[in-house]
Structure 1
Amino acid sequence: MKLLNMLLWSLLLVAVVPQALAQANSIPSQPHLLVKGDASRMVLPDRFVVKIALESVDMQTEIARRKVQANAEQVMGLFAKHGAIAETVRMDNLSIAPSTRYKEDEEVFEGTAVSRDLEGAFEKPEQLQAFLAELKASKEVQVNTATPTFSGEARLRAELKAEAAAQTRASAKGLADAYGAKISGLYSISDVAPNFAYGVQAGSWPNANSVSADLYYRTGTLDKVSVSGSRGVAAAAPMTGELLTAAPITYTENVYAIFLIAQ
């Protein structure tokens, strides 16, 4: 219920203030609070992707086509045998083109190249491991794995964005109360870091677990208060090459908001 309320609040915020996103990189002349909210969550991947590139070259196109077809049937059979997720299994159309190579600076025709790409994903790394153990790779069957992903990424990012937006509201209210000010309205909200002239730029927000407030004065009156707070975020290590372990993935969403204040 709490999450639903945050999502509804976030949607209402956009509907009530349509100019907010357009103002993301501008600052108001009246007193205001600039607040950053962030939310992160660590999840285990549930999509382990493998890509197969098939290609055969022969002077007789039909022979090359039959080889590719036989290899495709083998791969599709292994996808089914080892439990590949049905909606992730994809097989492209056949591609047929001349194949040439250079010999002593002269282009030599080798025959017709027939190729086809396949792709599939498994829920568990053990399934992918079993698939690779049984697949016979060769010059005509090339195998590549991709970085594991999480199937619920879109839903999770929406939840995190709502949490980050709610955090900006709470932070702004707490800071305004501490200085005896009152929030009079929302000026802008964006998930893109602002780039303002008074010192807070994209990529230079305070580190996690820190809270800071910088006061700016114009002609002796409170003009701006900037606050940035965040919770600890564990950065996911870059994953390259063939990765068959369920290493966690960290998703983070940031929201930047400017609230107008009255003294």
Structure 2
Amino acid sequence: MKLLHALLLSSTLAMAAPNVWAQANTIPSQPHLLVKGEARRVVMPDRFVVKVALESVDMQTDVARKRVQANSERVMQLFASHAAVAGTVRADNLSIKPSTRYRDDKDVFEGTAVSRDLEAAFPTAVALQAFLADLKASREVQVSTATPTYSGEAHLRAELKAEAAAQTRASAKGLADAYGARITGLYSISDVAPSFAYGVQAGTWPAASGASYREDYAEGRALDRVTVTGSRAGAPGELLAAAPITYTENVYAIFLIQDGS
């Protein structure tokens, strides 16, 4: 029992920092094991987002509105012809407001500004490239891309949490068996790591023995942002390369234990 008590004090127990108790009092006073489970997956993005900002300024409001409407129709046609993902196409309502420019120490009225934002996602970088090649950007048609995403993120994160939870059970059993202890129940489980006075902080837990992960890509890293104004978006032979996205889920579980003897 003394050996078990020393083990708990040196490797899995410590006096909790004050903020730990704010985490639903997850550290029990009785003997326990605190273990971490980690699961990660590297996937390729399948949603390549493009945003198109339309704006026209004219002294005649209806003239500006018609130009924005005409540009909007052309962009929407390109979304359709290049197979933008259904459900990702979005067109904001028209915005109409006065347009002024600061000149000679005073605001000068330039006319009425009519604007509208459009957005869509394509399933591949190649499809996005084809769209950009066919879209003529100008002063009234401003184009930019957003960070690519993975459409199955929510489902994938749920799977990773389940894998990480299973890892905590295996880790706890291995530790308990190694020291002749017996797991009596699960006290708490969370995806937020507690912090301890002896220096183990959230995000600094060591990797499991034998595990090796290459951090070639930060989570969410993908193709660089592309902004095109005033010219055709895309040159012949140019390709947009997509980098993988790494998703990681951590689970921290506390198991109550007793001496197995």
TM-score by length of 1: 0.80
Q: Secondary structure of the equivalent of 1:87?
A: coil
- Report what 1:179 is aligned to: 179
Please report how far the alpha carbon of residue 205 of structure 1 lies from its aligned counterpart in structure 2 after TM superposition: 1.0
Distance in 2, matches of 1:30 and 1:257, equals 15
Is the contact made by 1:55 and 1:114 (CA closer than 8 Å) also made in structure 2?
yes
- What residue ranges of structure 1 are gaps of 5+ in the alignment? 1-20, 212-229
Structure 1 runs (4+) greater than 6 angstroms displaced? none
The Cα offsets for residues 16-47 of structure 1, whole Å up to 9 and x where unpaired, read as xxxxx985564211111110001011111110
Q: Secondary structure of the equivalent of 2:201?
A: coil
- 1:246 and 2:242 equivalent? yes
Distance in 2, matches of 1:91 and 1:54, equals 11
Q: Could you tell me which amino acid in structure 1 is paired with residue 183 of structure 2?
A: I
Structure 2 matches for 1:90-129, cutoff 5 A?
A: 90-129=90-129
Identical pairs, percent: 75
Distance in 2, matches of 1:168 and 1:195, equals 18
Distance in 2, matches of 1:80 and 1:108, equals 40
Q: Secondary structure of the equivalent of 1:161?
A: helix
- 1:62 and 2:43 equivalent? no
Please report how far the alpha carbon of residue 196 of structure 1 lies from its aligned counterpart in structure 2 after TM superposition: 2.4
Q: Secondary structure of the equivalent of 2:243?
A: coil
Distance in 1, matches of 2:64 and 2:47, equals 32
- What residue ranges of structure 2 are gaps of 5+ in the alignment? 1-20, 227-238
The Cα offsets for residues 204-231 of structure 1, whole Å up to 9 and x where unpaired, read as 211x3547xxxxxxxxxxxxxxxxxx66
Q: Secondary structure of the equivalent of 1:42?
A: strand
- Report what 2:131 is aligned to: 131
Match of 2:213 among 225, 232, 235: 232
Distance in 2, matches of 1:42 and 1:140, equals 39
Please report how far the alpha carbon of residue 248 of structure 1 lies from its aligned counterpart in structure 2 after TM superposition: 1.2
Structure 2 matches for 1:157-176, cutoff 5 A?
A: 157-176=157-176
- Report what 1:225 is aligned to: none
Distance in 2, matches of 1:122 and 1:25, equals 46
Number of residue-to-residue matches in the alignment: 224
Distance in 2, matches of 1:114 and 1:69, equals 10
Q: Could you tell me which amino acid in structure 2 is paired with residue 74 of structure 1?
A: R
Structure 1 149/25 Cα, relative in aligned 2: closer, same or farther at 3 Å?
A: farther
Q: Secondary structure of the equivalent of 2:87?
A: helix
Structure 2 matches for 1:131-210, cutoff 5 A?
A: 131-206=131-206, 208-210=207-209
- Report what 2:234 is aligned to: none
Distance in 1, matches of 2:212 and 2:182, equals 25
Distance in 2, matches of 1:110 and 1:189, equals 61
* Cα RMSD, aligned residues only: 1.9
The Cα offsets for residues 43-77 of structure 1, whole Å up to 9 and x where unpaired, read as 11110100000000000000000110010011001
Distance in 2, matches of 1:210 and 1:101, equals 63
Please report how far the alpha carbon of residue 199 of structure 1 lies from its aligned counterpart in structure 2 after TM superposition: 3.0
Q: Could you tell me which amino acid in structure 2 is paired with residue 110 of structure 1?
A: E
Is the contact made by 1:24 and 1:188 (CA closer than 8 Å) also made in structure 2?
no
Q: Could you tell me which amino acid in structure 1 is paired with residue 87 of structure 2?
A: E
Please report how far the alpha carbon of residue 236 of structure 1 lies from its aligned counterpart in structure 2 after TM superposition: 2.0
The Cα offsets for residues 94-138 of structure 1, whole Å up to 9 and x where unpaired, read as 000000110022011110000000000110111100100010001
Q: Secondary structure of the equivalent of 1:157?
A: helix
Q: Secondary structure of the equivalent of 1:88?
A: coil
Distance in 1, matches of 2:216 and 2:162, equals 21
